Amino acid sequence: VAKRPATTENAMYESTRNIWGYQVPLDLLSTDTREYLSALPADRPSVQWIWREMDRIWDEMLLRPEARHDRRILFEQYYSHPVWTLNGIFTATDPESMAHRVAIAAYVATLSPAHVVDYGGGFGSLSRVLADRLPGSRVEILEPFASALGRAAVATYFNIVFSSKFGELCDVMIAQDVLEHVEQPIDLAIKMAQAVKPGGYLIFANCFWPVIKCHLPTTFYLRHCFPFVMRGLGLEFVGTIDGAAHAQVYRRQASLDLKACHVRARSAKVFGPALNFAYGAAGFLRRSLRNGAGNK
């Protein structure tokens, strides 16, 4: 892909710090962020360590009176915290995380889109892979909490742009690890579908599981019935992506049925928790039978 001229990554800024193999331009960081990053382990930790750290910051935010009484303030403070810089650096250096992004980008490339939107892709890890795969396409990062570091990560790419709200209709909309973080996931999914051209594609890589505390329990009813709700909206379920099995692909039909979608969402809130329990019980039974057979 054609890129803006730059010498070396280090030469672009007066000072950088190597964190787990990722060059972080210290010039762009606030004092608080520099101090936070200076306390990180020297070696890249496990993903479980990252999750515990994110939970620690979530709990810390909940202790603040203004955040405890106003969810909007909680989200603004939490998603603006340096822990998300940490998360972005980890994602960019973690082989499994990057393998998922490479798999998604490879699939998107087969669709030959002219315009791709990466919703919530603020650090640009996925968008950079997309831009390399699709040098003639426009890759738009729609990020409500864009950071200077995220912008710097994609600064050399001519075909990556940032935006803070939906604009012209796109060919492909990607939401990776987004819907489990919002209180009204179906409403946001509808807005995403409305921002895609008829015949275009949406890719939802959801995690409706209590992996970390900012995965909101009010979204977990969608764990096994998200496709059921989306088909009611008027999205055709195409399948999942090889190498990123949690990424579900949908094709938008000519019209969207918001009423049917909301009816299905209300139904899912009733039977979704029971379905979660049934799947969990079935999985436990399978594991027990497998372990029992192995002990004979």
pLDDT tens digits along 135-150: 999 999 999 878 888 8
pLDDT, position 13:
61
pLDDT, position 283:
86
pLDDT, position 3:
60
Q: What is the percent of the chain where pLDDT is above 90? A: 82
At 116, list the tokens. 């791709």
- Of the pLDDT bands very low, low, confident and very high (cuts 50, 70, 90), residue 112 is very high
HSE at residue 4, side-chain half, CA atoms within 13 A, is 11
pLDDT, position 289:
83
Reply yes or no on whether the pLDDT at 9 is more than 60.
no
Q: How far is CA 57 from its chain centroid?
A: 19
240's CB contacts (< 8 A; 6+ apart) are: 246, 247, 248, 249
Q: How many CB atoms lie within 10 A of CB 221?
A: 23
pLDDT, position 288:
80
Regarding beta strands 235-241 and 244-252, do their DSSP bridges make them parallel or antiparallel, or are they unpaired? antiparallel
Reply yes or no on whether the pLDDT at 208 is more than 50.
yes
User: Would you say the C-alpha torsion 285, 288, 291, 293 has a positive or negative sign?
Assistant: negative
Q: Are 4 and 156 in contact (CB under 8 A)?
A: yes
State how far the Cα of 94 lies from the Cα of 47, in Å rounded to an integer.
9
